A and B are shown apart, each in its own frame.
Chain A
Amino acid sequence: MPPLPVLMGQLLLGLINGAFYAVLSLGLALIFGLLNIINFAHGAQYMMGAFVAWLLLTVTGIGFWPALLISPIVIGLFGMAVERTMLRRLAKLDPLYGLLLTFGLALVIEGLFRQQYGVSGQPYQVPSALQGGINLGFMFLPIYRGFVVIASLVICLGTWLAIDKTKLGALLRAATENPSLVRAFGVNVPLMITATYGFGAALAGIAGVLAAPVYAVNPLMGSNIIIIVFAVVVIGGMGSILGSVLTGFGLGLVEGLTKVFYPEASSTVIFVIMAIVLLVKPAGLFGKAS
């Protein structure tokens, strides 16, 4: 049995990774569940969120807290433009076309950032109010990392409540089932789709800002995480919002524990779980069989 501080340290690391998995997979699940778009550009949008925060700081001196608001808005608007100008044209085709388009888009965005900023990470300071840590006796908890976990939980809970408990959420769920009827009721469904894609992209953007002080801001940060996030969404159940959030946190913890007990498997454990889930329950842990 490893020492308690080592175990707890890895669990904390897993929880933080899980927090990012949860927010990113939430955005993916939202976009897939409500719009039927497999958004491979989600990782690029996450990376752009981090870069917008970094550029705000280095170019204009705007710090973390305003960036936490500005960056998701910028990425959300970018997402809306992508939906409006490109994805909308594919709306009536197989979702595979959306996947190919967003995959290509992700490569283009990543390439542009690589060319401009190189692949070495850009440092981003932890905001002064969240520097330092708390000694819990059995481990040292960095305040910022605790903040990331709490912020992710608040974002996930808020999004779930908005989708599940509000009139707007009901309209979104109804439009997923029968968009033409909802439109005939007088609801501007195309605008709602654009806004939903923008919100999903904004979730990636906010995850990017939260990640900036934890990981180095670099053009590859999105492609490094997106495959894992897709695995999380598949395990949780494609389109299941609650499933993606719970699975995101859960798999982060599993990954952390694997690092303690069998480090060699830590980078593959999520994909092993995905394979097992697909064999046993193809719709995912929280998904509904179609």
Chain B
Amino acid sequence: MAEPLLKVAGLQAWYGESHILHGMDFEVPKGEVVTLLGRNGVGKTTTLRAIMGLTGRRTGSVVFEGRETITLPSDKVGRAGIAYCPEERGIFASLTVAENLVLPPVVRPGGLSMDELKELFPRLWERASSQGTKLSGGEQQMLAIARILRTGAPLLLLDEPTEGLAPVIVQHIGRILHQLKERGFTILLVEQNFHFAASVADRHYVVEHGRVIDCVPNAGADLGRLKSQLGV
């Protein structure tokens, strides 16, 4: 396994009185696509939010590029180089597509240029002056991914990017993730769609009751074990 870009150890998180994560342990090696798989409500989304500092209380350790980030507020986590694409996409209704696209600040060099984004997401340019939330679901997902690619953050946290999308859009997102991986981005992906996850990931972590219960490489016989764990 390559050197971990992100190392999560004993991560616990709460929403008010609800204890959601009970000690998540996993690593995301540099340049890999890693998925968190599991049923609804096991804590996958909360894990991403806890890494970003968006949950109420959290304990444990989140080390990014060798630096502990568990005590940092979420803006400092973002500035450190972790970009987040939320499950609900987070497109701002009061902003146009173009404004949504350039909203997140560039945190370091190495992000995609506007020309590169235009090549990857041509449809967004045709609708640059439209209100962000007037786009279709697929286009909104493209916009949510595109805007974090500008920032130069080397680690992308993507929360269910294929949820509710047509198969053709899901395939397109899969191709984009492959291209991003080729460009050196590291991706932590939360997915319900096992087949999509299997088509893009290097390894999978299976989550249950707020804990990682297994780590499965995305290859051969191990996938059978993963399928039986997920019941797919």
Q: Which of A60-68, A78-86, A170-178 contacts B (4 or more CB under 8 A)?
A: A170-178
Q: Which of A179-187, A214-222, A250-258 contacts B (4 or more CB under 8 A)?
A: A179-187
Tell me, in angstroms, the Cα distance from A187 to B104 when the chains sit together: 8
Tell me, in angstroms, the Cα distance from A178 to B103 when the chains sit together: 13
Specify which chain B residues have a CB less than 8 angstroms from the CB of A184 in the assembled complex.
52-54, 74-75, 77-78, 84
Tell me, in angstroms, the Cα distance from A177 to B95 when the chains sit together: 10
Specify which chain A residues have a CB less than 8 angstroms from the CB of B102 in the assembled complex.
167, 170
Give the shortest distance, in Å, between B91 (CB) and chain A (any CB). Answer: 9
CB-CB under 8 A for A178 and B92, given A186-B107, A187-B105: yes
Inter-chain contact A178/B74, CB cutoff 8 Å: no
Specify which chain B residues have a CB less than 8 angstroms from the CB of A183 in the assembled complex.
73-75, 78
Inter-chain contact A186/B92, CB cutoff 8 Å: no
Inter-chain contact B78/A174, CB cutoff 8 Å: no
Specify which chain A residues have a CB less than 8 angstroms from the CB of B93 in the assembled complex.
177
Tell me, in angstroms, the Cα distance from A171 to B78 when the chains sit together: 15
**Which residue of chain A is the closest to B148 with respect to CB atoms?**
A185
Tell me, in angstroms, the Cα distance from A189 to B103 when the chains sit together: 13
Of the candidates B74, B104, B151, the one whose C-beta lies within 8 Å of that of A180 is: B74
Of the candidates A167, A177, A188, the one whose C-beta lies within 8 Å of that of B75 is: A188
CB-CB under 8 A for A171 and B151, given A181-B86, A183-B73, A184-B84: no
Tell me, in angstroms, the Cα distance from A114 to B99 when the chains sit together: 48
Inter-chain contact B78/A173, CB cutoff 8 Å: no
Tell me, in angstroms, the Cα distance from A280 to B52 when the chains sit together: 45
The answer to whether B134 has its CB under 8 Å from any CB of chain A is: no
**Which residue of chain A is the closest to B98 with respect to CB atoms?**
A170
Chain A interface size band reads 10 to 19
**Which residue of chain A is the closest to B51 with respect to CB atoms?**
A184
Inter-chain contact B103/A174, CB cutoff 8 Å: yes
Tell me, in angstroms, the Cα distance from A177 to B93 when the chains sit together: 8
> Interface 1/0s, chain B 55-84, versus A by CB < 8 A?
000000000000000000111111100011
The answer to whether B122 has its CB under 8 Å from any CB of chain A is: no
Specify which chain A residues have a CB less than 8 angstroms from the CB of B184 in the assembled complex.
none
Inter-chain contact B105/A177, CB cutoff 8 Å: no
The answer to whether B18 has its CB under 8 Å from any CB of chain A is: no
Specify which chain A residues have a CB less than 8 angstroms from the CB of B148 in the assembled complex.
185
Give the shortest distance, in Å, between A178 (CB) and chain B (any CB). Answer: 6
The answer to whether B224 has its CB under 8 Å from any CB of chain A is: no
The answer to whether B41 has its CB under 8 Å from any CB of chain A is: no
Of the candidates B75, B76, B92, the one whose C-beta lies within 8 Å of that of A173 is: B92
Tell me, in angstroms, the Cα distance from A238 to B148 when the chains sit together: 32
A:116-139 near B, CB below 8 Å: none
CB-CB under 8 A for A185 and B105, given A170-B99, A180-B54, A180-B74: yes
Specify which chain A residues have a CB less than 8 angstroms from the CB of B40 in the assembled complex.
none
A-B pairs with beta carbons under 8 Å apart, 20 shown: A170-B99, A173-B94, A173-B95, A174-B95, A177-B94, A178-B92, A180-B74, A181-B90, A182-B103, A183-B75, A183-B78, A184-B84, A185-B78, A185-B84, A186-B78, A186-B107, A186-B151, A187-B75, A187-B78, A187-B105
Please list the residues of chain B having a beta carbon within 8 angstroms of any beta carbon in chain A.
Answer: 52-54, 73-79, 83-84, 86, 90, 92-95, 99, 102-105, 107, 148, 151
Across the A-B interface, the 10 shortest Cβ-Cβ residue pairs: A186-B78, A185-B104, A186-B79, A173-B94, A174-B92, A181-B90, A170-B99, A184-B74, A183-B75, A183-B74
